[in-house]
Amino acid sequence: MEQIMKKLEILAESAKYDVSCSSSGVKRQNNGTIGSTTAAGICHTWAADGRCISLLKVLFTNNCAYNCEYCVNRRDNDFPRASFEPEELAKLTYEFYRRNYIEGLFISSAVEVSPDYTAERILKAIRILRYDYQFAGYIHAKIIPGVSQEILHEIGLVADRLSVNIEMPNSESLNKFAPQKKPKQIFTPMKQITNTLIERGALVGPGTMFKGQNVNVAGNLVGLQAIKGSRDLTVPIRRKRDGKDFAPAGQTTQMIIGAGGESDASILTTSENLYRTFKMKRVYYSAYVPVVKSPILPDLKSAPPLQREHRMYQADWLLRFYGFTTSELFKNKDENLDPDMDPKVAWAIKNLDRFPIEINRASYMELMRIPGVGDTSAKRILRARKLAPVGYDDLKKMGVVMKRAKYFLTCCGKYYGDRKFLPETIRNAMLGMENGLQMSMFDTHQNLLTAASQVQLFDNNWKRLEQGAALEKLSIAGVI
């Protein structure tokens, strides 16, 4: 027990920077002796950093042959090393699962010896768990770039979800930070997973992005030009049936935010491409936590860009569930999201010509475009207005966030935003600005600014203050 304790400590410590921990995407009744999975997944607890713990997330080994710049397990890092035995790990998962501590296993690994050697060890561990322990719970296996097709396929037949980490949003930064990984090594397994899912008629796709379409068609096969040329691309693929599920919960990936100098636009464009090409379930983002000293990386003392990560996730949801595209979010050659507000609000303010939207007439997709209205409240509005027109007070009761929504909608023709319908006034109201002076000026970010830029910031705000006063006068005089 003492020995396992030591290994668990080291290998959990090494695995904690992997973001994905979801146990969702597949509903399965107990077809073994123990375990089941639910479609939405179950989180069993939340760690001190507020991230959920759903799966037992460990590395198989942290003994790495690679030397990726950003990684805590890089070869040059002086750090305690350990490896699990396949049987040991299976037993530990089983015992935790019985006690309802976890929903299953998330198994990743450093590259020990070679990708194939490591993948075979992972395969052995999850086979023991699946077949010897008859475990029907969730298994998420990480695919090491460069692994052979056959082993990947075997892992897919045992695991529920597969993921290949892309880590860097473009090939330049990959080349810079992880010189031993090649883009081709990353995209080949991704391609294989998506194509196998299509062949089995089991591809689902991200969120509601492809809702109502059959994605299991020849045209969606990735990178097979010969087939694309010779067939009708919209014809559903004839299913291969061998009675086995291949990764029924699909595939995901992960990108690091803030290690290289990429803009939000380039990161989200990469995400959108991953969603459209590979039909991935999720792309995860992880704010870079400086763990290793390196001349090309952010300083060890710098804080992880949590706010930026948060905005990326908000934008990601807009892509998957709200019918947005990246090009809509970055319209006027903006390179980054507005750090001060929700990307949906920022988009709405830039596109005021599409608002206000009449609650009692708009379609579901139009309702979803209103800031403060989400899936639940949009559906409630659709149901309620079948019986009677929906009024302003009803919206609040239905869970619409009125402090955001009121500027962008009308109820039975009446507009309730108590301001001028102008981008600047709405923006100010959203940010809680008094007379144009921005409150976030007093934020903690302030500490990082140099004296010179503080003056600059103050000047800008001062100008805004003057503008605000001028506008107010004009509005009192009834000019605007």
Cβ proximity to other proteins, 8 vs 222, nearer residue:
8
Q: How far apart are CA 122 and CA 114, in angstroms?
A: 13
Determine, following the binding rule CB under 8 A, whether residue 383 of this chain makes contact with other proteins: yes
Token code pair at residue 349: 């303010």
Determine the 3-state secondary structure of 411 from DSSP.
strand
Per-residue interface string for the shown chain with other proteins, residues 238-277, x marking contact by CB under 8 A: ----------------------------------------
Q: How far is the CB of 230 from other proteins (least distance, A)?
A: 46
DSSP-assigned letters across all residues of 112-125 = -S-HHHHHHHHHHH
Q: Give the chain's length.
A: 480
3-state helix, strand and coil shares in percent for the chain, rounded to the nearest 5? 45, 10, 45
Determine, following the binding rule CB under 8 A, whether residue 401 of this chain makes contact with other proteins: no
How many Cβ atoms from other residues are within 10 Å of residue 308's Cβ? 19
Looking at residues 53 to 92 of the shown chain, list those that interact with other proteins (rule: CB under 8 A). 53, 56-57, 92
Query: Given the rule CB under 8 A, which of 37-45, 185-193, 449-457, 462-470 is the region that contacts other proteins?
Result: 37-45
Q: Which residues contact 346 (CB under 8 A, 6 or more apart)?
A: 337, 338
Q: How far is the CB of 394 from other proteins (least distance, A)?
A: 3
Query: Given the rule CB under 8 A, which of 47-55, 217-225, 241-249, 457-465 is the region that contacts other proteins?
Result: 47-55
Angle in degrees, CA 391, 392, 398, rounded to 5? 85
Token code pair at residue 442: 């007093």
Determine, following the binding rule CB under 8 A, whether residue 299 of this chain makes contact with other proteins: no
Query: Given the rule CB under 8 A, which of 8-16, 274-282, 333-341, 471-479 is the region that contacts other proteins?
Result: 8-16
CA atoms within 13 Å, Cβ hemisphere of 11: 25
Looking at residues 167 to 206 of the shown chain, list those that interact with other proteins (rule: CB under 8 A). none
**Is 78 within 8 Å of 55 (Cβ atoms)?**
no
Token code pair at residue 25: 């995407």
Q: How far is the CB of 44 from other proteins (least distance, A)?
A: 5
Per-residue interface string for the shown chain with other proteins, residues 402-431, x marking contact by CB under 8 A: ------------------------------
Q: How far is the CB of 132 from other proteins (least distance, A)?
A: 15
Query: Given the rule CB under 8 A, which of 32-40, 149-157, 187-195, 237-245 is the region that contacts other proteins?
Result: 32-40
Q: Which strands form 357-358's sheet, in the order they lie side by side?
A: 357-358, 409-411, 414-415
Element (H, E) at 459: helix 451-477
Q: Residue from 183, 323, 391, 417 that binds other proteins (CB under 8 A)?
A: 391
Residue showing tokens 């988009």: 347
Determine, following the binding rule CB under 8 A, whether residue 13 of this chain makes contact with other proteins: yes
Binding site for other proteins (CB under 8 A): 1, 4-5, 8-9, 12-13, 15-17, 29-30, 33-36, 38, 42-53, 56-57, 92, 95-96, 98-101, 287, 289, 303-304, 306, 380, 383-384, 386-388, 390-391, 393-395, 397-398
